[in-house]
Structure 1
Amino acid sequence: MYTGNLNNLILNSDSYKTSHWLQYPPGSEYMSSYVEARKGSHDVLFFGLQAFIKEYLQAPITMAHIDEAEAVITAHGLPFNRTGWQRLVEKHDGFLPVRIQAVPEGSIVPVSNVVCQIVNTDPEFYWLPSYLETALLRAIWYPSTVASLSYFCKNVIKAALQKSADSVDALPFKLHDFGARGGSSMETIALGSLANLVNFSGTDSMTALVAASRWYDMDKDMPAFSIPAAEHSTMTAWGRQRETQAYDNMLEQFGGAGNTVAVVSDSYDLWNAIDNIWGDALKNKVETMGGTLVIRPDSGNPAEVVCEALQRLTARFGATTNSKGYKILPDYVRLIQGDGINPQSIGKILDTVMAAGFSADNVTFGMGGGLLQQVNRDTMSWAMKASAICIDGEWSDIFKDPITSQAKRSKKGRLALIKRADDSLETIKEDALKDPAENLLQDVFVDGKLLVDESLTTIRERTGW
Structure 2
Amino acid sequence: MDGDEFNILLATDSYKVSHYRQFPPNVTKVYSYFECRGRGHVSSQAEPHKFTESVFFGLQYTLKKYLCGQVVTREKIQQAKEIYQQHFQQDIFNEDGWNYILEEHEGRLPVRIKAVPEGTVVPLGNVLFTVESTDPKCFWIIGWLETILVQTWYPITVATSSRAQKQLLARYLWRTGGSRALLERQLQDFGYRGVSSQETAAIGGAAHLVNFRGSDTMAGVMLLRRYYGCPMAGHSIPAAEHSTVTAWGREREGAAFRHLLQQFPSGAVSVVLNILGKAFGTMVNEKGYKMLPDCLRIIQGDGIDISSLKRVLDAVENAGWSAANLYFGSGGSLLQKVNRDTLNCCFKCSYAEFDGQGVDVYKQPVTDPSKCSKRGQLSLQKTIDGQLVTVEGGKGDQDTDLLRIVFEDGQLLRDFSLEEIRVNAALREEDFSPDPNPDVILQ
Shift of 1:186: 0.7
Deviations 1:421-454 (A, max 9, x none): 1111111126212x31111101000011101101
Identity of aligned residues (%): 45
* 1:260 has 2:268 as partner: yes
Residue of structure 1 aligned with 2:80, choices 50, 69, 75: 69
Deviations 1:192-232 (A, max 9, x none): 0000000000000111121111100113xx21110000111
Equivalent residue, structure 1, for 2:138:
125
> Which sections of structure 2, spanning at least 5 residues, go unmatched?
41-49, 428-443
CA distance in 2, matches of 1:414, 1:182: 40
CA distance in 2, matches of 1:199, 1:166: 18
Equivalent residue, structure 1, for 2:403:
441
Equivalent residue, structure 2, for 1:246:
256
Contact 2:374–2:392 under 8 Å retained in 1: no
Shift of 1:3: 5.6
TM-score by length of 2: 0.91
Secondary structure of the corresponding residue to residue 202 of structure 1: coil
Contact 1:416–1:430 under 8 Å retained in 2: no
CA distance in 2, matches of 1:388, 1:431: 10
Shift of 1:165: 1.5
Shift of 1:49: 0.6
Deviations 1:370-421 (A, max 9, x none): 1100011011111101111101111111111111111211111111110111
Residue of structure 1 aligned with 2:95, choices 67, 70, 82: 82
Residue of structure 2 aligned with 1:57, choices 32, 52, 67: 67
Secondary structure of the corresponding residue to residue 181 of structure 2: coil
Residue of structure 2 aligned with 1:410, choices 373, 392, 398: 373
The 5 Å alignment of 1:1-400 reads: 4-39=3-38, 40=40, 41-42=50-51, 43-60=53-70, 61-77=72-88, 79-138=92-151, 140-219=152-231, 222-256=232-266, 259-265=267-273, 270-271=274-275, 274-275=276-277, 315-400=278-363
CA distance in 2, matches of 1:5, 1:387: 35
Shift of 1:323: 0.6
Shift of 1:171: 0.6
CA distance in 1, matches of 2:192, 2:326: 22
Deviations 1:348-369 (A, max 9, x none): 1111101111000000000110
Letter in 1 for 2:320: G
Letter in 2 for 1:175: L
Secondary structure of the corresponding residue to residue 437 of structure 1: coil
Secondary structure of the corresponding residue to residue 431 of structure 1: coil
Compare the two structures and name the one with the higher helix fraction: 1
CA distance in 1, matches of 2:24, 2:2: 35
- State the superposition RMSD in angstroms: 1.2
Shift of 1:47: 0.1
CA distance in 2, matches of 1:326, 1:426: 41
TM-score by length of 1: 0.87
Please say which structure displays the higher CA radius of gyration. Answer: 1
CA distance in 1, matches of 2:61, 2:139: 25
- Return the structure number with greater relative CO, CA threshold 8 A, min gap 6: 2
Answer with 346-355 or 238-247: which moved more: 238-247
Letter in 2 for 1:146: V
Shift of 1:5: 3.1
Contact 2:178–2:323 under 8 Å retained in 1: no
CA distance in 2, matches of 1:70, 1:374: 37
Letter in 1 for 2:395: A
Letter in 2 for 1:123: P
Letter in 1 for 2:192: A
> Which sections of structure 1, spanning at least 5 residues, go unmatched?
276-314
Contact 2:111–2:408 under 8 Å retained in 1: yes
Shift of 1:6: 5.0
Contact 1:103–1:441 under 8 Å retained in 2: yes
Letter in 2 for 1:59: G
Shift of 1:333: 0.6
CA distance in 1, matches of 2:79, 2:341: 33
Answer with 202-211 or 234-243: which moved more: 234-243
Contact 1:47–1:147 under 8 Å retained in 2: yes
Equivalent residue, structure 1, for 2:391:
428
Shift of 1:4: 3.5
Residue of structure 2 aligned with 1:454, choices 408, 416, 419: 416
Contact 2:34–2:150 under 8 Å retained in 1: yes
Answer with 394-403 or 361-370: which moved more: 394-403
> Where do 4+ consecutive residues of structure 1 move more than 4 Å?
none
Letter in 2 for 1:179: G
CA distance in 2, matches of 1:144, 1:134: 16
